[in-house]
Amino acid sequence: MQTFLQRFFFKKLARHLRRPAGWFGEKVGRKMNAANAFLYDTTLDIMQPGNNDRILEIGFGNGKFFDKIFTKAHDLQLTGIDFSEKMLREAQKNNTDSIVSGKLKLHYGSSDNLPFPDNHFDKVFCINVVYFWDPPLPHLQEIHRVLKPGGHFYSVIRSRKSIEQMPFSNYGFIKYEQDEWLTILTGCRYKAAGIKVIKEPEAKLKGKSYPVESWCFVAKKES
């Protein structure tokens, strides 16, 4: 059973995982880099960015992984949107050259109201973000709108069993089984194009280790 101080800490952590702010949010952003690095590499392997692709990342954090995407193909046009003003500022500092050159554009905002035209992106992806979409439908509808016909949406989430082990997930996280998220995707006019099971290294939090399994859902906007 959690003590008052433990509950206070995990509530605070959950709040900043959703929307990092201030000095604690900056620290959380760095922790998310370590926690998501394996997922990021695996997602890029699955996504296979192509030359001249327009790619949108939802929830880019402090933007430390954008350089990895640029190594995967030529003449990429990358765009990011994040719900945290703190993370936007951190990502701008971490990617000055790419922003100045025009190959990276960063926005502050929510994915249920995307400031982009219809049929604009070849690929959209997000990692450990969908837990905070309540409800998910407006976000998925907006992503569907901005995807080109034939474009793909990659959503990476941890299994309900994995995330329920982590005490911060009791505060504001929506958890999904594989079939639940797949049903939501297909109900929003996406065609399921594959599910990749990702066996991650163990997660560590306050001296404890947690075995983790994640999924990358690949969904297509039909032509």
Mean pLDDT, range 102-111, rounded to an integer = 98
Mean pLDDT, range 150-168, rounded to an integer = 94
Write the DSSP string, the chain: ---HHHHHHHHHHHHHHHS--HHHHHHHHHHHHHHHHHHHHHHHHHH---TT-EEEEE--TT-TTHHHHHTSSSS-EEEEEES-HHHHHHHHHHTHHHHHHTSEEEEES-TTS--S-TT-EEEEEEES-GGG-SSSHHHHHHHHHHEEEEEEEEEEEE-HHHHHTSGGGGTT-----HHHHHHHHHHTTEEEEEEEEEEPPPEEETTEEE--EEEEEEEEE--
Q: What is the CATH number of the domain that holds 79?
A: 3.40.50.150
Domain that holds residue 102: 4-221
pLDDT in the model for residue 1: 64
Give the pLDDT confidence of 186-218 residue by residue, as tens digits.
999 999 999 999 988 887 777 788 788 999 999
Report the number of distinct structural domains present in the chain.
1
